[in-house]
Amino acid sequence: MTTISIDRASRWFGNVVAVNDVSMTIAPGVTGLLGPNGAGKSTLIHMMSGFLPPSSGSVVLDGVPIWKNQQAYRQIGLVPEREAMYDFLTGWEFVLANAELHGLSDPGEAAKRALATVEMEYAQDRQVSTYSKGMKQRVKMASALVHDPAVLLLDEPFNGMDPRQRMHLMELLRRFGAEGRTVLFSSHILEEVEQLARHIEVVVAGRHAASGDFRKIRRLMTDRPHRYTVRSSDDRALAAALIADGSTAGIELDYKERALQIQAIDFYRFTELVPRVAKEAGIRLLTVSPADESLESVFSYLVAAK
């Protein structure tokens, strides 16, 4: 059982705060680190992988600080986000070199096993520079798995993968989680994280915004006030009928857009209410669209609600 504990860690670069007073524990199983781009996910992963010291607070692996502790790499496998690796090597040479650098007793066998795990044997004798993005990602995975680590850290591993590769990697990570390894991956896509992670940690603008299983996170995301833009054959009559129900908090007649701007506070009831009310009043709905579904606004709501 290997656990990474982050305790009140902050990290700033000059006067830019990238990570702000974050505490979380990454336990065995698959954990998703969710947040919009620039939220501090990479900074957190760099701290967990010993490539950045926290400016304050601590980041430890089973109680031992990770920064400047090269022995920690016996337990950590890291899949960095950047694509650069030793492009002039073949996939086999690259993974073998990683096994040798770990000082394994049988690096050849370990490299073989790791390449088999990611199903890359078929291309192992080609130069890395000829690989597609998904293939590079898998070879990076193999290099991180070569020493059979208890902890696997992956920075945006699904970026640039096609759906089939994505499914394959998800299966792989699920399996590692089930084997009792501590797997942490970052992503800015909720659906991706939901499909895979048992546990989700949400970071927004350097802060720890939420933590829990995917149901809890999903509920947090849907329970927030939603804004809708609605156009109909009779906006004023529709507004009057909708505001009578408790699921709406405010309605504005937007003359310029010739539409209603509605703030709903009970998502499920509201989605059921609109078509029913319109039908009863004989109003025709022309447009019903969520107004601020950008991920950033969803996340910033989470921060404000915490």
Partner 1 sequence: MNVTVARLTMRGLLGRRRGLLLLALPLLLIVLSVVIRVVAGQDENTAAGILGGLGLGTMVPLVGLIAGTGAIGPEIDDGSIIYLLAKPQPRWKIIVSKLVVAIGCSVVFAALPTYIAGLILFGTFENLTLGYTIAALIAGIAYSALFLLFGVISRHAVVWGLMYALLWETIVGTYVPGAQTLSVHQWALSVGQKIADPGVISSSVHLPTAIPLLLVATVGGAWLAAARLSRLTLAGEE
226 by DSSP, 3-state: which?
strand
18 near partner 1 (CB under 8 A):
yes
148 near partner 1 (CB under 8 A):
no
- Identify whether the C-beta of residue 148 lies closer than 8 Å to the C-beta of residue 116: no
295 near partner 1 (CB under 8 A):
no
CB of 37 to partner 1, least distance (A): 6
Residues in contact with partner 1, shown as a per-residue x/- string from 26 to 65 under the rule CB under 8 A: -----------xxxxxxx--x--xxxxx------------
- Identify whether the C-beta of residue 102 lies closer than 8 Å to the C-beta of residue 146: yes
CB of 172 to partner 1, least distance (A): 20
203 by DSSP, 3-state: which?
strand
Rg (CA), the chain: 24
CB of 209 to partner 1, least distance (A): 16
142 near partner 1 (CB under 8 A):
no
Closer by beta carbon to partner 1, 28 or else 50: 50
Contacts of 101 (CB under 8 A, 6+ apart): none
- Other CB atoms within a 10 A radius of the CB of residue 287 amount to 12
15 near partner 1 (CB under 8 A):
no
13 near partner 1 (CB under 8 A):
yes
88 near partner 1 (CB under 8 A):
yes
Q: Which of 24, 73, 157, 274 binds partner 1 (CB under 8 A)?
A: 73
- Which residue, 157, 161, 115, 116, is CA-closest to 139? 115
CB of 151 to partner 1, least distance (A): 12
78 near partner 1 (CB under 8 A):
yes
Closer by beta carbon to partner 1, 32 or else 80: 80
Closer by beta carbon to partner 1, 13 or else 268: 13
Closer by beta carbon to partner 1, 97 or else 291: 97
Q: What type of residue is 197?
A: A
Specify the stretch interacting with partner 1 by CB under 8 A; choose among 85-93, 158-166, 221-229, 252-260.
85-93
Q: Which of 70, 105, 191, 282 binds partner 1 (CB under 8 A)?
A: 70
Closer by beta carbon to partner 1, 237 or else 295: 295
Residue at token pair 């601590």: 58
98 near partner 1 (CB under 8 A):
yes
- Identify whether the C-beta of residue 301 lies closer than 8 Å to the C-beta of residue 224: yes
Alpha carbon distance, N-terminus to C-terminus of the chain: 30
Please report, for residues 241, 272, 280, the alpha-carbon distance to residue 277 in angstroms, rounded to integers and kept in the order given. Answer: 7, 9, 5
Contacts of 11 (CB under 8 A, 6+ apart): 17, 18, 19, 40, 43, 47, 52, 54, 55
C-alpha span between 174 and 79 (Å, rounded): 16
164 near partner 1 (CB under 8 A):
no
Q: In what order do the strands lie in the sheet with 151-154?
A: 76-79, 151-154, 182-187, 29-34, 199-204, 207-212
267 near partner 1 (CB under 8 A):
no
Chain residues in the site for partner 1 (CB under 8 A): 13, 18, 37-43, 46, 49-53, 68, 70-74, 76, 78, 80-82, 84-86, 88-89, 97-98, 100-103, 143
